[in-house]
């Protein structure tokens, strides 16, 4: 993956900028990560294998492997820029971290993992990119991958159902306030500015073209088809065969959804 001029980029600095940009949208991002790891501590053995699903540059993997010396992780994403950044900045953590490029919208995405079973799958701020059909298929795949008694944790903004319009409005107002504070009041770098800035790095042009090619279908849906709401996630996980499904942590529509296999 590490080829060409992009090898010379200071990826650790870009990873720090990524984290700050993400915190502009999610001020309680670290609290959400911490809760997910607390749940892993309570429910998993000292040594376990986890998938960091739609990992981006490996935010979950970095925190999980730091906290649990006996754990291993497989970081899976389809974004070539974020995968390169994560692998370049974090490495393989002494053989405990594997990086995999896979398209979650593909029916055979999991074959590239070359494993039969894992103890846990964790994901944050990512699966809202999938439409309902792809999400339901993905959850069936996870049910087959996660061992009995293993867990799935999804931290994301999951919309309240249509019959709760006041709840939806409160969540929207909270998002607007957070982003106004971060991006307008403090002048924090936002998503668009981060991508524009990294695009000016030498050697990034071809990689960004490849990224656009991979995500053209996502870009065409973005803002047109709303992401699956909370009720869809719960129903899809139950239909996939998870025995317990529910919210274990929540701040308005920002939740951690826990599913037990």
Q: Domain segments of the chain: what residues? A: 4-260
* Local structure of 113: helix, strand or coil: helix
> What pLDDT was estimated at residue 8?
84
Partners of 73 in beta bridges? 50, 97
Q: How many CA atoms lie within 13 A of 56 on its CB side?
A: 15
Question: How far from each other are the two terminal CA atoms of the chain, in whole angstroms?
Answer: 34
Quick one: the chain helix, strand, coil %, rounded to 5? 50, 20, 30
Question: Which superfamily does CATH assign the domain made up of 4-260 to?
Answer: Vaccinia Virus protein VP39 (3.40.50.150)
Our separate counts of H helices and E strands in the chain read 10, 7
- For each of the chain's 261 residues, which pLDDT tens digit applies? 445 667 689 999 999 999 999 999 999 999 999 999 999 999 999 999 999 999 999 999 999 999 999 999 999 999 999 999 999 999 999 999 999 999 999 999 999 999 999 999 999 999 999 999 999 999 999 999 999 999 999 999 999 999 999 999 999 999 999 999 999 999 999 999 999 999 999 999 999 999 999 998 665 555 568 899 999 999 999 999 999 999 999 999 999 999 999
Reference 99, options 47, 57, 36; nearest CA is: 57
Q: Which two tokens stand for residue 33?
A: 């990560």
Reference 3, options 87, 102, 97, 98; nearest CA is: 87
Check residue 89 and report its DSSP letter: H
> What pLDDT was estimated at residue 1?
43
């Amino acid at each position: 993956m590490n080829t060409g001029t992009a090898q010379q980029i200071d990826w650790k600095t870009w990873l720090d900028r990524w984290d700050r940009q993400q915190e502009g949208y999610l001020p309680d991002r670290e609290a959400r990560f911490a809760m997910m790891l607390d749940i892993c501590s309570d429910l998993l053995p000292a040594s376990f294998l986890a998938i960091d699903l739609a990992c981006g540059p490996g935010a979950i993997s970095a925190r999980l492997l730091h906290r649990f010396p006996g754990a291993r992780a497989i970081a899976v994403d389809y974004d070539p820029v974020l995968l390169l950044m994560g692998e370049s900045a974090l490495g393989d953590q002494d053989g405990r971290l594997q990086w995999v490029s896979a398209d979650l919208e593909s029916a055979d995405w999991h074959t590239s993992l070359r494993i039969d079973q894992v103890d846990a799958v964790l994901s944050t701020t990512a699966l809202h990119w999938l439409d309902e059909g792809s999400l339901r298929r993905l959850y069936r795949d996870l049910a087959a991958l996660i061992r009995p008694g293993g867990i799935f944790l999804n931290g994301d903004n999951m919309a309240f159902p249509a019959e709760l319009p006041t709840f939806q409005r409160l969540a929207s107002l909270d998002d607007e306030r957070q982003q106004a504070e971060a991006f307008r009041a403090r002048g924090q770098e936002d998503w668009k500015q981060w991508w524009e800035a990294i695009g000016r790095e030498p050697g990034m042009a071809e990689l960004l073209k490849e990224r656009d090619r991979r995500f053209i279908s996502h870009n065409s849906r973005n803002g047109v088809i709303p992401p699956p709401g909370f009720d869809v996630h719960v129903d899809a996980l139950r239909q996939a065969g998870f025995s317990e499904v529910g919210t274990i942590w929540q701040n308005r529509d920002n939740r951690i959804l826990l599913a037990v296999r």
